[in-house]
Chain A
Amino acid sequence: MADSFYGEVLADHNLHPLHRHELADATHVCKGLNPTCGDDIELHLDIKDNIISDGSFTGIGCAISQASADIMLELVIGKTPDEAKHLTALFRKMIGGEISDDELEELEEAGALQTISKMPARVKCATLSWNTLERLLDESTHEH
């Protein structure tokens, strides 16, 4: 897979996603849609005692949107909603091409999506799951 088009990390998360499945115990569900390309995902989170204890996604999308969702869940599971929001803000900063090296480290594997900052046509694909996560977390704060 060395000469894969998007690089090994993205190709791997797209072809073998860890978190692409239903989640029976989900406490929160939120849909995300890219009307221009038809990408349509659903994010499921299990939030207990202010910790995202588990999460998954379902739906359809291109390699970038699917890999991005998988990488994002890998990163935020085990974190608090506030930490997850902080990470979504960093991710957006990275896509905007304004992230520092220290901040990039916080994003761990999601840093593999930094190249998207140079592919304007794919920004919506990469940010779909992150925007969905942010909306889910915002809505869940309003509930309580």
Chain B
Amino acid sequence: MSDAKNYKADFPVFSGNKDLVYLDSSATTQKPQAVLDAVNKYYHEENANPLRGLYELSVRATDAYDNARETVKQFIGAGSKEEIVFTRNATESLNLVAYSYGREFINEGDEILVAISEHHSNFLPWQQIALQKGAKVRFLETDHTGLYTKEQLEAALTPKTKLLAIAQISNVFGRLNPIKDFADICHKNGTLIVCDAAQSAPHLKIDVKDLDVDFLVFSGHKMLAPMGIGVLYGRRDLLEKTPPFLYGGEMIEYVTRDGATFAPLPHKFEAGTVNVGGAVGLKAAIDYINDNDFDKLIDREHELTAYAFDLMKNIPFVNIIGGDKAEHHHGIITFAVEGVHPHDIAAIFDADNIAIRAGHHCAQPLHKTLGVPSSARMSLSFYNDEQDIDRFISTLKTIRGRMGYGG
């Protein structure tokens, strides 16, 4: 039995839903009391429209927002706060890169290389830019285990490849991609790398300088923070030359009848009144992770993933999608049950008060490649425990019987 701390006690959702087994953390995580308190405190004591600074309360709101940016900068090892842009979520961050950087610098005949297992949010914006600019989307293919190799990448790059779009951890396979090696290979080819860290930021330590990525994005809500706050990291020289994404208040210097000059980084990309409450919540989430020792949380997730993986592997009618070792899975185990549609699998789990995901997980081209229309996914966090996994397994074993299959 593990001697892990009872993290569930920090998450109020579990005291309000005593019987719930929550195994959908890759969709969104639950929020610890510390995050809820921080957001509450901000709105109770510090709320004002920030960045105008004409009175004391607004200065405090501005400071709260600024402190959050500093915390995010340190969390991912960015060089300066100017490289951290707050957005709504990873999807908006990726759209920002595609619409602002892509529309300016991707031209007719260029190629955009997209990993076939990408979430639609790191595929569709590129598909649209390609359609608009006469560029071409090509795919970096994978096998049924979700593996991408350096050799595959080298073979897929051409002199026309402007950019590689790839997740650090796939939301279907849970497999970790060698982003640092890929960045190196891309840069030798004059290709930029855009890394979707939505699934990795909650599960491993990120150092953007060490990875040497050009852009990296993630969502707060998948790492204990409220919904509606996300992050774009961009290399400073790239952000400097990227045109604004949205136009409006807070992102300008001077506006005349005929034109405008834009605010310096990062405000150039943060038009309109920003989400200070969300940023404060994200800071509190990162503080919670650090206060609880991120390494311990990561170890706990690996322990739980291995526990679930080994039990699932031994059920004859369950097929795990992706790598054949627990360490390939980073808290995400996608699976199929022979003869049972994933929607029915999820409904049966729901009847036993166990929350999992079913569908194509916003990765339709991948499911076409794998030859399955959809799949079921359990995803966990450090706040799960062995009892959660045991209940998951005991329901999983009953599914075929409950669908009317004999034996």
Counting chain A residues whose Cβ lies within 8 A of the other chain, the interface size class is 20 to 34
Known: A36-B359, A38-B364. A4 touches B404 (CB 8 A): yes
Max count, chain B CB within 10 A of own CB: residue among A8, A38, A66: A38
- The tally of residues in B whose CB lies under 8 Å from a CB in A reads 19
Which residues of B (335-377) have their CB < 8 Å from a CB of A?
340-344, 347-348, 351, 358-360, 364, 367, 373-374
Instruction: Let me know if B343 and A11 touch, CB within 8 A.
Output: no
Q: Answer yes or no: A12 CB below 8 A from chain B CBs.
A: yes
A14 to B342, CA, bound (A): 14
Instruction: Let me know if B344 and A62 touch, CB within 8 A.
Output: yes
Known: A5-B348, A61-B341, A62-B344. A38 touches B374 (CB 8 A): yes
Chain A residues with CB under 8 Å of B343's CB are 37, 39, 62-64, 122, 125
Chain B residues with CB under 8 Å of A66's CB are 341
Q: Answer yes or no: A24 CB below 8 A from chain B CBs.
A: no
Chain B residues with CB under 8 Å of A119's CB are 347
Q: Answer yes or no: B403 CB below 8 A from chain A CBs.
A: yes
Which residues of A (101-115) have their CB < 8 Å from a CB of B?
none
Q: Answer yes or no: B402 CB below 8 A from chain A CBs.
A: yes
Instruction: Let me know if B402 and A3 touch, CB within 8 A.
Output: yes
Q: Answer yes or no: B405 CB below 8 A from chain A CBs.
A: yes
Max count, chain A CB within 10 A of own CB: residue among B340, B358, B367, B403: B403
Contact of A1 (CB < 8 Å), options: B341, B351, B404:
B404
Shortest CB-to-CB span from B349 to chain A, Å, is 11
Instruction: Let me know if B367 and A14 touch, CB within 8 A.
Output: no
Q: Answer yes or no: A60 CB below 8 A from chain B CBs.
A: yes
Binding site for B on A (CB under 8 A): 1, 3-6, 8, 11-12, 14-15, 36-40, 60-64, 66, 119, 121-122, 125
24 residue pairs A–B, Cβ–Cβ below 8 Å: A3-B402, A4-B403, A4-B404, A5-B347, A5-B351, A6-B344, A11-B404, A12-B404, A15-B405, A37-B359, A37-B360, A37-B374, A38-B359, A38-B367, A60-B341, A60-B373, A62-B341, A62-B344, A63-B403, A64-B343, A64-B344, A119-B347, A121-B347, A122-B347
Contacts A60-B373, A122-B347 known; list 18 others, CB within 8 Å: A4-B403, A5-B347, A5-B351, A14-B403, A15-B405, A36-B359, A37-B343, A37-B358, A38-B359, A38-B360, A38-B373, A38-B374, A39-B343, A39-B373, A62-B344, A63-B344, A64-B343, A119-B347
